Amino acid sequence: MNLAADPKADAFEALAAQPLTATIKGIPPRAAPIALGAVRKQGWNLLRGDLPFPLAVLSGAALEHNSRWMRAFIQANKLSIAPHGKTTMAPQLFRRQIEDGAWAITVATLQQLMVCRRFGFDRLLIANELIGPGELDAIFGELAKAPQLEIYALVDSLAGIERIAAAGRRTGNAARLQLLLEMGVAGGRTGCRSLGGALEVARAARREGLTLRGVEGFEGVLKETAAVDAFLDSITAAAEAIAGEGLFSADGQVILSAGGSAFYDRVAARFARSRLANEVQIVTRSGCYLTHDSVSYEQHYRAMRARELAEPGPHPGSLPTGDLRPALLIWTQLQSRPEPGRAILTMGRRDVGQDAGLPVPLLWYRRGLHEAPVAIGAGHSVAALYDQHCCLDCPSTSALAVGDLVAFGISHPCTTFDKWQVLYVADERYDIVDAVRTFF
């Protein structure tokens, strides 16, 4: 039974009933307050000007395609996926991911875990080292309240083991928290830097009566495939050494977990080589596949496809047919064309991430002129993003004019989602068919 597939219906009903006020970005004042669940019944259309700009708009069709694409990938490669919830922080999207076969939801913080608990997700992977006594007490407290709840968390140090053990003693259920030993790379983020260090932590876990279930790493700090492969192999090696000393908890499989959104092909390929005697569960954690993007993760995706072509025939890590599609665009309105080569649009750092590259203009629409949005054409690019404005360089011959709509592709979903409390879902005709609430 997929415990996590049984989220709390009443929490989702309460969410649907939640009134959205005009103080939330994207909610039209004349319709506010409006229940989240009532948005789909309004008959709003993005292109008709029913909504204020800028807007974050998800393509329902692209979401569905990407979600099924990942289901095909994990099934073909016999993986589990615990998609990183931090990307969208949208329980409505978590539910879709669970329905499409996700094994758990990954989170990075206590607050993110509490969002998942509110909506009844019962298998959670905290891909982080939580060491605050208050945080740990809260996590053990959640476990104490819910017998069906499974929480996995990372540990990379003796200090971490001590803090987890102390919190477990306070609540008397130390063994309920399932630990993954974290491996890291030199110059990188969290994680043990050596096999010896990893074994010390694993032995301490055993001494303290804690439950060690596997080994984990985040390869996304690396850029080169060879370095990623070597790091993934170090995770397998650590698991083999820990298993060799009998330090994993006696019951159940050994978990090997890695995989952001750039190298899950390699995770499948390298972990498949494990020589562990135990049954192995490989858990990937991509968060960005669901909406994909138009720049950064599109490049990562192209690199995965190139790696696949370099290794002909079916093999561990093979990707499904069809491509991931960018499901999230920011729609803006042109507010000024102060010079022939420049247009200013209603979108800024408050609306779109720029940490992994600037957004890219993709579509242009003018009511009366166009039946549907058209490609914006060459020569248009973002020159600067201010807090609330986008400066677009354009050819002096560009027909862009005040009032036109321009849609931008994004780079890095995580840092665009967190700028919106409500994102709309649109169909192919740009009718608004749903709204998604985030919890950042």
**Which amino acid, residue 371?**
E
Site string for a second copy, 385-404 (x = CB under 8 A): -xxxx-x---------xxx-
Nearer to a second copy, 113 or 269 (CB): 113
Residue among 50 and 308 whose Cβ is closer to a second copy? 50
Q: SS3 helix, strand, coil % of the chain, rounded to 5? A: 35, 25, 45
Site for a second copy in 81-110 (CB under 8 A): 86, 108-110
Tell the smallest beta-carbon distance from residue 98 to a second copy (Å): 18
Tell me if residue 336 falls in helix, strand or coil.
Answer: strand
The answer to whether 368 contacts a second copy (rule: CB under 8 A) is: no
**Does residue 12 touch a second copy according to CB under 8 A?**
no
- Which tokens is 322 given? 């069809």
Cβ proximity to a second copy, 129 vs 265, nearer residue:
129
* Side-chain half-sphere exposure of 52, counting CA atoms within 13 A: 12
Among 135, 219, 265, 293, the residue binding a second copy under the rule CB under 8 A is 135
In angstroms, what is the minimal distance from the CB of 25 to a second copy?
5
CB 127 within 8 A of CB 154: yes
Residue 157 touching a second copy (CB under 8 A): yes
Cα(180)–Cα(155) distance, integer angstroms = 6
Burial of 371 (0-12, 13-18, 19+ CB in 10 A): exposed
Least distance from C-beta 195 to a second copy, angstroms? 14
Q: Does 14 bind a second copy (CB under 8 A)?
A: no
Q: Which 36-55 positions form the footprint of a second copy (CB under 8 A)?
A: 49-53
Contact set for a second copy, span 284-343 (CB under 8 A) = 333, 335-339, 342
> Of how many residues is the chain composed?
440
Residue 152 sits in the site that holds a second copy (CB under 8 A):
no
Question: What is the largest distance, in Å, between two alpha-carbon atoms of the chain?
Answer: 73
Residue ranges in 159-218 that form contacts with a second copy under rule CB under 8 A: 159-160, 163, 184, 186-193
Separation between Cα atoms, residue 26 and residue 56, nearest integer Å: 8
Q: For residue 285, what are the CA distances in angstroms to 89, 219, 296, 312, 335? A: 14, 11, 18, 26, 40
> In whole angstroms, how close is the CB of 427 to a second copy at the nearest point?
21
Both tokens assigned to 206: 């055993």
Residue 2 interacts with a second copy (CB under 8 A): yes or no? no
CB nearer a second copy, residue 22 or residue 35: 22
